[in-house]
Chain A
């Protein structure tokens, strides 16, 4: 991640598109909308450029350092969230389908029989 100042209230961030999904970038910078005008665009050499323009007071160098730390942490968190989502979306769909199914279409067959729900007879 490369961060550079454009003017007193604007910074430019370059991210490697091979490392960061666009959805991760969008979800991360969505939370910066309160304080910044944000522009995201793809640029040559497979980079993504993000321009953050502060809405109120100018950015000091210290602000930029803190902002960079925050952005790195948020990008990392949203990468984790994306990974969780990708790995678990099918199970989530299954849980919801089972939860709202009005029939036993999605039910698993319970062990044993009605009179022997733990199948104890099998071991006698």
Chain B
């Protein structure tokens, strides 16, 4: 075949195009960090990343990259440089960016109903001011519950999750029952995809409750802090040992609702820091295939007892790393087990799909993704916001359920919060290599610094996230063949569950 008969397609360039000796290229937006003595990490707004030898960024910025090198091709493919001032794939880049921010499309999808502040536990790290079980004035009224449900249906989101919290929500089960039945009734007009979750300590269960939860396909989120001695020390309960009751409760829920409808959360106290392996073993022993190694938050009662629970972020990071290493070893032995925070970050690093985790969103998840209707009818921007209100800080109180939807969700307070919710514009974050994967968390920074932006060099939130990101990218750099197949299986599993 003669060369002049070869069809030319615009997606292919002629051979002489690749033989230019001094190609001109243009930078595309990206950020970078020195990952180790030998490596730099570069990340763009779309989440694409490259691990490159130290000194590469300087060469890229000064246009000293060999056009025949693999690095040059990687930089082109990863949207870090372009051969034209406006990259030919700019629409693809815009689509990736839009997909990353698509959590904004539906607006508020998670609606938390604090049906009661009453609780039968007295956990020292509790983030809300629990009250004893007899004080009925700490339950939400039916009138306020009805108004809150009406607000929920004003949300444009096609997916709505009603999450019932407390105190212990099952102590006010009649309110949960009313809310679910009323929401289902109203949903006949709205046609939303409606889900129900109850956050319970699993110690207040009856057959009637179980029957109702099964009929309405309610998901259970409960608390298990680790082995018996640790759990009971963290979560004291008058008259009985919490651990045995929780395990019994989990078994009853699973028997009626199904194993996959019951999940667990743990809170890391000072005591927990020495037992990452034992905590994971407990989760394995009781049939869970995941754990969320999450730190304690400085809100509400937790803030009052913060001295008791305070620990250095470095200690938490050691705890997290030990736990993750142990989980990686389990996976290498054929036991599928995941760490939830790692999965969230890996999904952000390796896919463009947003993760429903409000702490790591920009703009922040407050109002955009979550809203809280408190037991007294007041509406808060997030669960942490109402916890802050328990120590008389009402900064994130948006109004009352009696107010209009517009004044609550688009009012002056909502606008002020929005001003401090965009990580791309925050001092310290605007140049951070991990910006694409991280979040702003105005409530945390307000609680600690007294202003919603905070000071990143002093922020434990920043230090912790930065520590985890650095650790994960170092694993990918130095132990890729060992960890990537495991991480990849976690991401696929997570995406399948979300589908």
Chain A contact residues, CB within 8 Å of chain B: 27, 30-34, 77-78, 80-81, 83-85, 87-89, 91-92, 94-96, 98-100, 106-108, 111, 118-120, 123
CB–CB B94/A95 < 8 A: yes
- List, in ascending order, chain A residues with CB within 8 A of B457's CB: 30-34
- List, in ascending order, chain A residues with CB within 8 A of B427's CB: 30
CB–CB A91/B98 < 8 A: no
CB–CB B455/A95 < 8 A: no
B side interface size, CB within 8 A: 36
CB–CB B431/A81 < 8 A: yes
CB–CB B26/A98 < 8 A: no
CB–CB A107/B57 < 8 A: no
CB–CB A84/B27 < 8 A: yes
Of B5-13, B146-154, B160-168, the segment with at least 4 beta carbons within 8 Å of chain A is B5-13
Q: What would be 16 A-B contacts, judged by CB atoms less than 8 Å apart? A: A77-B34, A80-B61, A81-B31, A84-B29, A85-B29, A91-B86, A91-B90, A95-B94, A95-B97, A99-B95, A99-B97, A100-B101, A108-B90, A111-B10, A118-B10, A119-B9
7 more CB-based (< 8 A) A-B contacts, given A84-B27, A91-B86? A27-B431, A77-B34, A80-B32, A80-B58, A91-B28, A98-B94, A119-B9
Beyond A30-B457, A87-B27, A107-B91, whether A118 also contacts B9 by CB under 8 A is yes
With beta carbons under 8 angstroms apart, the residue of B26, B86, B431, B458 that contacts A78 is B431
How many pairs, one residue from A and one from B, have CB atoms within 8 Å of each other in the complex?
83
Q: How far is the CA of A100 from the CA of B94 in the complex (A)?
A: 8
Q: How far is the CA of A119 from the CA of B8 in the complex (A)?
A: 10
Q: How far is the CA of A118 from the CA of B10 in the complex (A)?
A: 8
CB–CB A83/B28 < 8 A: no
- List, in ascending order, chain A residues with CB within 8 A of B383's CB: none
Beyond A30-B457, A80-B61, A108-B91, whether A88 also contacts B28 by CB under 8 A is yes
- List, in ascending order, chain B residues with CB within 8 A of A88's CB: 27-30
At the interface, yes or no: B87 with Cβ under 8 Å from chain A? yes
At the interface, yes or no: B339 with Cβ under 8 Å from chain A? no
CB–CB A123/B29 < 8 A: no
At the interface, yes or no: B139 with Cβ under 8 Å from chain A? no
- List, in ascending order, chain B residues with CB within 8 A of A108's CB: 90-91
- Min Cβ gap B61→A in Å is 5
At the interface, yes or no: B428 with Cβ under 8 Å from chain A? yes
At the interface, yes or no: B45 with Cβ under 8 Å from chain A? yes
CB–CB B28/A30 < 8 A: no
Q: How far is the CA of A83 from the CA of B61 in the complex (A)?
A: 7
Proximity bits, B54-95, A CB within 8 Å = 1, else 0: 000110010000000000000000000010011100110111
Chain A residue, CB-CB nearest to B104: A100
- List, in ascending order, chain B residues with CB within 8 A of A106's CB: 94
Chain A residue, CB-CB nearest to B101: A99
CB–CB A30/B458 < 8 A: no
Max chain B Cβ within 10 angstroms of own Cβ: one of A78, A87, A95, A119: A95
CB–CB B98/A100 < 8 A: yes
CB–CB A95/B431 < 8 A: no
CB–CB B93/A95 < 8 A: yes
Beyond A87-B26, A88-B29, whether A118 also contacts B90 by CB under 8 A is no
CB–CB A119/B455 < 8 A: no
- List, in ascending order, chain B residues with CB within 8 A of A94's CB: 86, 90
- List, in ascending order, chain A residues with CB within 8 A of B28's CB: 88, 91
Chain B residue, CB-CB nearest to A31: B457
CB–CB B27/A123 < 8 A: no
Beyond A95-B45, A118-B9, A123-B8, whether A30 also contacts B428 by CB under 8 A is yes
Chain A residue, CB-CB nearest to B85: A91
- List, in ascending order, chain A residues with CB within 8 A of B61's CB: 80, 83-84
- List, in ascending order, chain A residues with CB within 8 A of B93's CB: 95
- Min Cβ gap A22→B in Å is 14
- List, in ascending order, chain A residues with CB within 8 A of B26's CB: 87, 91
